[in-house]
Amino acid sequence: MAAIAASIALAGDKSDLARDMSINATAIAAAGSSVFAVRAQKVPAGKRLVGFLAAALFSWLAAELAWSYMLFVLDIDPYPSAADLLYLAGYGFAAYVVFSLYRTLAARTQETRMVLLVGAVTVEALFLNLFLIQIVESAMGFGTAGNNNDPVVLAISVAYPLLDGALIVPAAVIVVGYRSALIDKFSIIMLVAALISIAVADTGFGYVALQDRSAEGAEWDLLYCLSYLCFAGAMLNTYSRLKGAKTLSVKEQTAAGLI
């Protein structure tokens, strides 16, 4: 709890280095806790699922460290840069986790699933109207005269909220249509909270970057810290629940939808 409080306090600090280090610290906590969660898995399906999430977290950790190295050691602008390739690679691993959970945990009846999907798509449409359209309009010059029209910056700034939205939609269905299987509901809620936090941070960061303003706002850093803390909470909760638990039989795994 003290580490969490310190991380959040540093995220609100005016020092860019302090905020960046707090993001790195929470990313390390998330990636490190995922190792324990992987080792605690009792079935191959669970080990594979959590392993992919661990790969996503380690990819994002590598991106955060690369970002810090370029910004504070090489003294160059890390946006866009090779760090973005690591960030984007992490989305591939995270997508496998989210869509695997969707297939395993979503509501069984077609009617209920359709209702949940319609609701999720509605949320996605609202997300696009509030954030993504503003980014595109600013990049095309409909906003202020000082907009950044670099096509690489535009592509990366739009890619992040698009990918975030693609993950949030099935995640929302998972939460509402939850049934017991690979991961308990608290961990799933924490994962969704992490995705929402990182989606808002990515969108805000991309918007101010396209506006040619400093994209180093403390509010986005705080959200990135919050997302990693939620990931860490999900992984530690998974580990604590599985530690010492018995290995499920084939019949129990089949009933839970694991195989």
Task: Return per-residue pLDDT of the chain as tens, 259 residues.
Answer: 445 545 554 545 556 788 888 899 999 999 999 999 999 888 888 899 999 999 999 999 999 999 999 989 998 877 778 899 999 999 999 999 988 887 776 545 555 566 556 666 666 566 565 555 555 555 555 444 444 556 777 777 777 877 887 787 777 777 766 665 567 788 888 998 998 888 888 877 776 766 655 545 678 888 999 999 999 999 999 898 887 655 544 444 444 444 3
Read off the pTM: 0.79
- Segment 190-208, tens digit of pLDDT: 998 998 888 888 877 776 7
Q: How many CB atoms lie within 10 A of CB 128?
A: 16
CA distance 9 to 133: 32
**Is the distance from CB of 235 to CB of 34 less than 8 angstroms?**
yes
- Whether cis (ω within 30° of 0) applies to the bond prior to 80 is yes
What is the tens place of the pLDDT at every residue in 195-241? 888 888 887 777 676 665 554 567 888 899 999 999 999 999 989 88
The full 3-state SS of 98-156, as one line of letters, equals HHHHHHHHCCCCHHHHHHHHHHHHHHHHHHHHHHHHHHHHHHCCCCCCCCCCCHHHHHH
Host domain of residue 101: 2-255
CB 121 within 8 A of CB 163: no
CA distances for 237 relative to 25, 59, 95, angstroms: 19, 21, 21
- Structure tokens of 9? 């306090």
Domain count of the fold of the chain: 1
Query: How many whole angstroms separate alpha carbon 250 and alpha carbon 259?
Result: 8
